[in-house]
Amino acid sequence: MIKASDIIPFFVIIPLAGAFLLSLFGRRARWVPDFAAMVAAILLCYLSLLSARLYNTYGLLKYSVGAWMPPVGIGMVLDGLTAFLLVTVNLVTLCVTVFSINYMEKYTSKWKFYTLFLLMVAGMNGVIITGDLFNMFVFLEIASVASYALVAFGTEKHELEAAFKYAIMGTVGSLFILLAIAFLYTYTSTLNMADMANILAEKGSSQIVLMASVLFIMGLGLKAALVPFHAWLPDAHPSAPAPISAMLSGVLIKSLGVYTLCRIFFNVIGLTESISSILMLLGVISMVIGVFLAIGQWDFKRLLAYHSISQIGYVMLGIGLGTPLGILGGLFHLFNHSIFKSLLFLNSGAVEYSTGTRDLKEMGGLSAKMPVTSGTSLIASMSIAGVPPFNGFWSKLLIIFALVEAGRYGYAFWAVIASILTLSSFMKVMKYAFFGELNRKWDKVKEVPFLMKLSMVMLAFICIAGGLLIYGGIGDMFLKPAAEAMLTGTKYGWLILNWLR
Amino acid sequence: MTHKESETKGMSLIVKTITRLTVGIIISFGVYIICHGHLSPGGGFAGGVIVALSFIHLMLAYGGEEAFKRLSKRTASLWESAGAIFFLGLALLGFTGGYFFLNFLPKGENFALFSAGIIPLCNLAISIKVGAGLFSIFVALVSLKISAEALKVKLKKGKNQL
């Protein structure tokens, strides 16, 4: 008999099976890697949409791996937040896979790329669906290690350097996370997140929980690239091939960093006043410093990478505020950012594919030669800058409203300033790259192949349609459950363990 | 390759002789660790490492060519993926009982060699994956160094020509 919860492990099984089958058979023929990755991505995207629907019909779904009951065995949980993140990750994965089919032609051994790519997806999905703290760490490492290798995929000198830096800093971050998990394990004698939430609620807080919280903020903050821990991102994200930059900036920093921070601080440890203000402070610092660093950049991808730091700041600011409206805005911005930032990275990849340069000064007037790329790029830029009616506007508006409602006028002021600076920075991109006079060098430049165009148009469509998420049915089915899951706080433990007793 | 040439490659005669005598023992110890993984300390990971070490040992003593005759780079990477697929397949077979990773085989008697359901098979899969993986990592590190040296030689030659 098939239960609704049987869907849960497949988010890990499909990409893992795809990755290892590809490494066995990927060398056989040229079409095998593309085909296998495409099948996996379509299946994952379909299942993630299905999971959102299943959550709305059946409520909270739980799965015990190997029929071992949690807290002894490993539990997997599908709640509103999980379903929301799964849809975000797998939607972007699908678009990026479509893009890679043409884009990765210029690299050798495509099957290696897809193997690593699918492993990274498996890790991200695993982090999202697991209900076990140590299991989360294992999946986090799978995704991180795969991403270290993907950053170095071009094997040029600067790529290897960036990957090395990323690997060292990422490993240090992972070490902090592992140490924090060890502290919590000694204190609660359990690794299941729901069980841990209950025991922490019973035993109350202590110095060791505070220590673990600090370590989590450092480790997961590094994965999310919040400002004092951001140094790896501006090197690593531009160095990767464009589809991977899109995945890293679009979903990796969110599923490994923001989601885990949310899950641990909202549902396991419980959000206290001090943690909330730390998260908000980190958010506002990232938001402002990220955008200031971005304005001066002339490398297209590096500029986008700095904007990722800034936009993650918005997400953390909204989520750290902890009010229902703030969380809703933060999560909505998370979704929107993953769509428009991956689109922008794909745009930069398309420009690089056609012209071979990433320097904004060298480009110019490309809109005449590459209408689809420049059109989608305009949409994405308007979205990230928060121009109505694109999706970025609505989420930033929600965050600013939430800040004003909570009486945090200072933070709201900085959010507005950062938004204006973002707009100016993207006006610069538009002016130098796509509008203005056509640089003579690019007279013979052609628009990118069909599949790359298709993927960019798909994402641009979501950018426009995404603004509708806060209205009506889709938002109720999709965004509200995620915010509710975070607002249940440490009651999460009771909700899940009820099914055991 | 003539007899003399094979003697000049790798390390000295003493090391080669000792290696020839010990490699078989090391492999069989690795296999023992793997097979008793569910009964005694050890298991797939530790056993796989030991098996990989025996090949690395061969490579150190006799040089790369001799080791690649027994386990080439390509075969190692294929075995690695096969081990992972084997493990995932075992986990998927658990769905015959309704759960991912379910131990669907009969558990048998405690402390018997053939017991504990799928656990020995999991150990076997892990050992294949870890053994082949570790050997591949070693080969990658060694051959990267070799290619870097080759590049240096090329650069030197280029300079001389200039």
Looking at the predicted structure, is the pLDDT value of residue B150 above 70? no
Phi, psi of B107 (to 5 degrees): -80, -25
pLDDT at B69 over 90: no
Burial of A368 (0-12, 13-18, 19+ CB in 10 A): middle
Q: Distance between CA A228 and CA A309 in Å, rounded?
A: 11
Instruction: Return the bridge partners of A299, or none.
Output: A359
User: How confident is the model at residue A310, as a pLDDT?
Assistant: 93
* Whether A80 contacts A482, CB under 8 Å: yes
Of the candidate ranges A66-75, A156-165, A477-486, B3-12, the one whose mean pLDDT is the lowest: B3-12
Quick one: average pLDDT of A31-56? 91
For residue B3, is pLDDT > 70? no
Residue type, A357: T
Give residue B160's pLDDT.
57
The residue behind tokens 């993984």 is B37
At A365-423, the pLDDT tens digits run 888 888 888 899 999 999 998 888 888 898 899 999 999 999 989 999 999 999 999 99
Percent of chain B with pLDDT over 90: 19
A66/B102 touch (CB, cutoff 8 Å), yes or no: yes
> pLDDT band at B151, cuts 50/70/90?
low
As given in the structure block, the two tokens for residue A386 are 């928060």
Q: Do A23 and B80 touch (CB under 8 A)?
A: yes
Q: H/E element holding B84?
A: helix B73-93
Strands A61-64 and A75-78: antiparallel
Strand partners, A61: A78
Residues on chain B touching A126 (C-beta within 8 angstroms): none
The distance of A112 to chain B (nearest Cα, Å) reads 12
- In this prediction, residue B63 carries a pLDDT of 78
Three-state DSSP at A477 gives helix
ipTM comes to 0.83
Partner A contacted by B49 (CB < 8 A): no
Q: Taking 90 as the threshold, does the pLDDT of residue A469 lie above it?
A: no
Which chain A residues have a beta carbon less than 8 Å from that of B128? none
A78 phi/psi in degrees, rounded to 5: -120, 100
* Contact assignment for A63 to B92 by CB distance below 8 Å: no
Q: Which of B81, B101, B103 sits opposite A24 (nearest CB)?
A: B81
Return the pLDDT at A172.
93
Q: What CA–CA distances, in Å, run from B46 to B29, B41, B126? A: 11, 9, 10
Reply yes or no on whether the pLDDT at B135 is more than 70. yes
Of A20, A21, A65, the CB nearest to B100: A65
- CA dist A455 → A100, A313, B62 (Å): 9, 27, 52
Above pLDDT 90, what percent of chain A? 49
Assess whether pLDDT exceeds 50 at residue A430: yes
Q: How many domains does chain B have?
A: 1
Q: At what angle do helices A300-321 and A324-355 cross, to 10 degrees?
A: 170
* Cβ proximity of A150 and A116 under 8 Å: yes
Kindly tell me if the per-residue pLDDT of B6 is higher than 60: no
Residues in B touching A20 (Cβ below 8 Å): 81, 84-85, 88
Q: Containing domain of residue B27, as a range?
A: 3-161
Helices A80-103 & A324-355 angle (0-180, nearest 10) = 10
CA–CA distance, B21 with A225 (Å, rounded to integer): 53
CB-CB contact of A351 with A433 (8 Å):
yes
Query: Per-residue DSSP letters for A419-440?
Result: HHHHHHHHHHHIIIIISSSPPG
The dihedrals phi and psi of A200, each to the nearest 5 degrees, come to -65, -35
Return the minimum-mean-pLDDT range out of A24-33, A137-146, A210-219, A227-236: A24-33
Residue A499: pLDDT over 80 = no
Mutate to test the interface with B, among A20, A63, A74, A115 (most CBs of B within 10 A): A20
What Cα–Cα distance (Å) separates residue B28 from each residue in B24, B31, B46? Answer: 6, 5, 13
CB contact under 8 A, A17 and B97: no
**Torsion-angle region of residue B108: left (phi > 0), alpha (psi -120 to 50) or beta?**
left
Tokens of A495: 């909700």
Would you say residue A117 has pLDDT above 90? yes
pLDDT greater than 90 at residue A29: no
Provide the b/e sequence for A201-239 (b: ≥16 CB within 10 Å). Answer: beeeeeeebeebbebbbbbbbbbbbbbebbebbbbbbbb
Q: The tokens 């899969």 sit on which residue?
A: B125
CA B70 and chain centroid, separation: 11
Q: pTM of the full predicted structure?
A: 0.91
Q: Which residue has the higher pLDDT, A498 or A194?
A: A194
Check residues A134 and A362 and name the one with the higher pLDDT: A134
Q: Is the pLDDT of residue A37 over 50?
A: yes
* Touching A: B residues 103-122, CB under 8 Å: 103
Q: Is the pLDDT reported for residue B159 higher than 70?
A: no
B82 in contact with A, Cβ within 8 Å: yes
Q: What is the mean pLDDT of chain A?
A: 88
**Span A265-318, pLDDT tens digits:** 998 888 888 999 999 999 999 999 999 999 888 899 999 999 999 999 999 999
| pLDDT at residue B161, rounded to an integer | 53
Question: Best mutation site among B74, B79, B99 for testing chain A: the one with the most A CBs within 10 Å?
Answer: B99
Confidence at residue B2, expressed as pLDDT on a 0 to 100 scale: 47
- Cβ distance A66 to B97 less than 8 Å, yes or no, reads no
What's the confidence (pLDDT) of residue B158?
Answer: 59
For chain B, what is the mean pLDDT? 82
B68: confidence class by pLDDT, cuts 50, 70, 90: confident
